[in-house]
Structure 1
Amino acid sequence: MPFPLRSRLASLAAGLLLAGCVVYDTPPPAPQPSKYDRAWNAALAGAQDAGIAITQVDPAAGTIRGNKNGVPANVSVTRQAGGGVEVRFDSKDAALAERFSQAYDRRMGR
């Protein structure tokens, strides 16, 4: 038994509506820097924020050397076995160490 005209028109309209639908894929997420890169960048910028004049930078070794008013300051960024990263600051100026720590934390979003 043939479909009535009204049913055919409704089926045709539904088909045309569905044919006009477009589905877009979401773009892939932007790549995130590694934990080490993130800590390294925060340590370098934190040292500069604390007023340390940077004299030597070695990302491969994870070392940043500089001074503030003639007082040496050293930063080391080390990969840990469990995938973490350790950032260590060494200076005889306790106030400088505190300024670096605050700047580093701020750069890390803490």
Structure 2
Amino acid sequence: AASIRGSLIEIKKINLQENKKSYYIKQDQWQEILEEAIEVAISDASVEVFDGTYTPFQLLDMVDKNQIITIAQNLLALTYNYSKKELPAIVNNFLTELPGGENWRLGK
């Protein structure tokens, strides 16, 4: 959760142009970027998930790439709608709605 939250805050900060009104990457441009990045992300995640128990190939078979991209787009959309100050709490709330999120919220 911390890395997701931190990454979204950094994306918001870097993506916002100097005029504080425009974005370098528009909200509707993330799909292609995410599709290009997903394979690398799954390979990297295979090292971290369950202490590297699964290979990238196994992990790829276990996940729904389209669902991951949709969730990522929803998280990125938050960076366009909330301030850096509001973003951590909003992201935390969003994460509690994902599978396993309620257990995370309860500290289980």
TM-score by length of 2: 0.22
Q: Whose strand fraction is larger, Structure 1's or Structure 2's?
A: 1
Higher helix share: 2
Larger radius of gyration: 1
Give the TM-score normalised by the residue count of structure 1.
Answer: 0.22
